[in-house]
Amino acid sequence: MEKAFDCMKKALTVREQNKGWRPKPEVISSMLNSLSDSGDIEELEAFVSSLKSVIPVNREMYHSLIKAYVRVGKEVDCLLQSMNSDKIDADEETEKILSLTQK
């Protein structure tokens, strides 16, 4: 997965040369899950930031960030506020992820 992630990072940085290119949703999903599970918040935040230049921010991106934050005990209020600002409503899955902080 690390090699795939490195390739994706490179592709995102040279996207200007091929403006029609979009990463496949299933590849993004897999990478978001992997990074979220790894607990490397800085890498995940950088990846999400890079993705925002290619595709609109979405609930899956926020869920990955929230999961990672919860795993390391980091405050998620700022993410929830950003999610709200981006007009992405919390859903059942969001609540499920947030409930992990109370265990």
pLDDT tens-digit readout, 38-66:
888 999 999 999 888 888 999 999 999 99
Res. 103 pLDDT band, cuts 50 70 90? low
The reported pLDDT for the residue numbered 102 is: 59
Instruction: Identify the CA nearest to 82 among candidates 54, 61, 55, 51.
Output: 61
Q: Which domain holds residue 69?
A: 2-14+24-102
State how far the Cα of 75 lies from the Cα of 79, in Å rounded to an integer.
8
Task: For residue 52, tell me if it sits in a domain.
Answer: yes
Task: For residue 81, tell me if it sits in a domain.
Answer: yes
Task: For residue 19, tell me if it sits in a domain.
Answer: no
Task: For residue 69, tell me if it sits in a domain.
Answer: yes
pTM of the complete model: 0.85
Q: What's the structural domain count of the chain?
A: 1
Task: For residue 34, tell me if it sits in a domain.
Answer: yes
